[in-house]
Amino acid sequence: MGHKYILVSEGKRWRDANKDAEKMSGHLVTISSSEEQEFIVNFLRSQKNSPFCTWLGFTDDKKEGDWKWVTGEEVKYTNWGPGQPDNGYGCQNFAWIGWFNDGKWDDNLEGTKLPFIVEFDNSSTGKSRGDIESNDLKVYYGGHTYELSEQKKNWIMAKHDTKKRDGYLVVINTPDEQKVIEKLLEEAKQRENFCEPVWIGFSDEKREGSWKWVNGDKVTFTNWQRNQPSNANGITPENYAVIWQPIDNPSDRGQWNDVAGDNQLRYITEYDFDNSIDGNTRIKIRTTR
């Protein structure tokens, strides 16, 4: 069965982390084999600024010593550290895993704030959200999901495609959201050496110079390249915005430009998922178990 995992870098108490995972239609990670254990440890080690430890979906809060997975699945595998679980202070009822100690598990207090891993199975990922196609180039921030397309389209067709997916071309309202999009493009650059312009949901097609977001949001932030927008194609009006990550000029990283709408480009879809979930950037990856 194919499973997906995301790392949430914001520290949460175990119960709050568990609720957030459920809101995302997933669950705190469960580990049912040595192979999955090895994958999770390697995943944590591979992250930039990786946390030392994260919550697992494993608890004995109902009955001391009777450890259960949050999914209700059978406990087939454990990897406790020496002398663990020890129920320190008489109330350590929640398990965590650390990559720094060869992936050994330990029990901890519910009030401890730790990052956590959310696990999705195929039945819980995307099906309630427009059956979203995944190419693993997604980030999560502030309850929103941002996905870089695999295919290229002109601006109008890209806009139509995002709408069919119950999303819209990405809208960038703050410097923090801009950084999230830059992180997504940087990930594409590292994985695919991808450095081309990408469509965003910003246009002055209705009235020259009056730039509007596709979802009607008020324009509170822009990141235009110097002397842009220029509408300076000379042949076709440049009424549609792009963001890009050039190889040859790092100072232009993440800046915007206006281009003609008939260009065939990749694009970023934004989905309004659960806005109550607090977010740091989260990169989704795929594995099979």
Indicate whether 277 pLDDT > 60: no
Delimit the domains of the chain by residue range. 2-125+278-288, 144-271
pLDDT in tens, 100-116: 778 999 999 988 999 99
Give the pLDDT confidence score for residue 140 in this predicted structure: 77
Comparison of pLDDT for 139 and 157, the residue scoring more: 157
Reduced to 3 states (helix: H, G, I; strand: E, B; else coil), residue 23 is: helix
Nearest to 14 by CA among 5, 6, 22, 3: 22
Q: What is the mean pLDDT of residues 260-286?
A: 64
Take residue 268 and report the two structure tokens written for it. Answer: 């970023």
Indicate whether 226 pLDDT > 50: yes
Indicate whether 48 pLDDT > 90: no
Are 2-125+278-288 and 144-271 the same fold in CATH? yes
What's this model's pTM, rounded to 2 decimal places? 0.52
Give the pLDDT confidence score for residue 246 in this predicted structure: 64
Give the pLDDT confidence score for residue 67 in this predicted structure: 97
Give the CATH H-level superfamily of domain 144-271.
Mannose-Binding Protein A, subunit A (3.10.100.10)
pLDDT in tens, 240-249: 999 987 655 6
Peptide bond before residue 85 is cis, with ω within 30 degrees of 0: yes
Please state which of the ranges 106-120, 194-208, 249-263 shows the lowest mean pLDDT. 249-263
Helix (H) or strand (E) holding 118: strand 114-121
What is the spatial distance between Cα 289 and Cα 36, in angstroms, rounded to a whole number? 7
Give the pLDDT confidence score for residue 234 in this predicted structure: 60
Architecture of domain 2-125+278-288: Roll (3.10)
Give the pLDDT confidence score for residue 138 in this predicted structure: 83
Give the pLDDT confidence score for residue 285 in this predicted structure: 35
Beta bridge partners of 259: 240
Indicate whether 131 pLDDT > 50: no
What is the spatial distance between Cα 213 and Cα 147, in angstroms, rounded to a whole number? 18
Give the pLDDT confidence score for residue 49 in this predicted structure: 63
What is the spatial distance between Cα 53 and Cα 191, in angstroms, rounded to a whole number? 26
- Which residues 6+ apart lie within 8 Å of 158 measured at CB? 149, 169, 199, 265, 267
Give the distance, in angstroms, between the CA of residue 79 and the centroid of all CA atoms in the same chain. Answer: 28
Asked if 267 contacts 147 with a C-beta cutoff of 8 angstroms, the reply is no
Indicate whether 126 pLDDT > 50: no
Comparison of pLDDT for 44 and 248, the residue scoring more: 44
Asked if 238 contacts 247 with a C-beta cutoff of 8 angstroms, the reply is no
Indicate whether 157 pLDDT > 90: yes
- Which residues 6+ apart lie within 8 Å of 264 measured at CB? 152, 153, 154
Take residue 210 and report the two structure tokens written for it. Answer: 């009056």
Looking at every residue in the chain, the average pLDDT score rounds to 83
Indicate whether 22 pLDDT > 70: yes
Comparison of pLDDT for 277 and 77, the residue scoring more: 77
Q: What is the mean pLDDT of residues 137-151?
A: 84
Peptide bond before residue 197 is cis, with ω within 30 degrees of 0: no
